[in-house]
C-alpha cells in the first residue's frame, strides 16, 4: 500500500515527493521480501511507523472525514486546509481525486456530502 501511495503521488501529481517512484519500488521490494514469521517483519513495521505520508493529500483528507464523523468541525476545517495546501485544486477536482482511491460510488457520495458541510 505504501508503495502505491508513493507511485500514485508521482503519477497523479498529488504531491511533490522527491524520488517518489524509486521510494515506492523500494517499499514494494521490501514487502515482497517480508514473511509473517520473519523476525525482520517487526523491524520493517517499526520502520513503516516512521514514514510520514503527510505530503500526500489523502492523509489529511482522512483526518477531515474522521473529524466530521465525530462532529469536530473545527478540527475538520483545519485538516481540510492541509488538503487544500497540498492539493490547491482539490475543491474543483475533488471527485476526480477521490476516484483515485475509491471505486464505491456510495462511499464517494458520502464523502462528497461530508465535505459539503465544511
- pLDDT computed for residue 39 by the predictor: 60
Is there a contact between 14 and 87 (Cβ–Cβ < 8 Å)?
yes
Domains of the chain, residue spans = 2-49, 58-116
- pLDDT computed for residue 91 by the predictor: 93
- pLDDT computed for residue 1 by the predictor: 44
Cell of 16: 511533490
What distance in Å separates the CA atoms of residue 48 and residue 92, rounded to the nearest whole number? 32
- pLDDT computed for residue 4 by the predictor: 47
CB neighbours (10 Å) of residue 110?
Answer: 14
- pLDDT computed for residue 18 by the predictor: 66
Cell 475538520, located at residue: 76
Residues of the chain with pLDDT under 50: 1-4, 6-7, 45, 48
Query: Taking every pair of C-alpha atoms in the chain, what is the biggest distance, in angstroms?
Result: 46
- pLDDT computed for residue 93 by the predictor: 92
What distance in Å separates the CA atoms of residue 53 and residue 62, rounded to the nearest whole number? 12
Distant-in-sequence, close-in-space partners of 89: CB < 8 Å, separation ≥ 6: none
Amino acid at each position: 500500500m505504501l508503495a502505491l501511495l508513493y507511485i500514485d503521488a508521482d503519477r497523479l501529481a498529488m504531491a511533490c515527493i522527491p524520488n517518489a517512484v524509486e521510494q515506492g519500488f523500494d517499499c514494494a521490494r521490501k514487502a515482497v521480501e517480508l514473511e509473517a514469521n520473519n523476525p525482520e517483519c517487526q523491524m520493517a513495521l517499526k520502520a513503516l511507523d516512521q514514514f510520514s505520508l503527510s505530503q500526500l493529500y489523502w492523509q489529511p483528507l482522512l483526518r477531515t472525514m474522521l473529524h466530521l464523523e465525530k462532529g469536530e468541525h473545527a478540527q475538520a476545517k483545519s485538516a481540510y486546509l492541509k488538503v487544500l495546501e497540498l492539493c490547491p485544486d482539490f475543491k474543483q477536482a475533488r471527485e476526480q481525486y477521490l476516484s483515485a482511491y475509491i471505486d464505491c460510488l456510495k462511499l464517494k457520495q458520502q464523502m462528497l456530502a461530508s465535505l459539503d458541510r465544511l
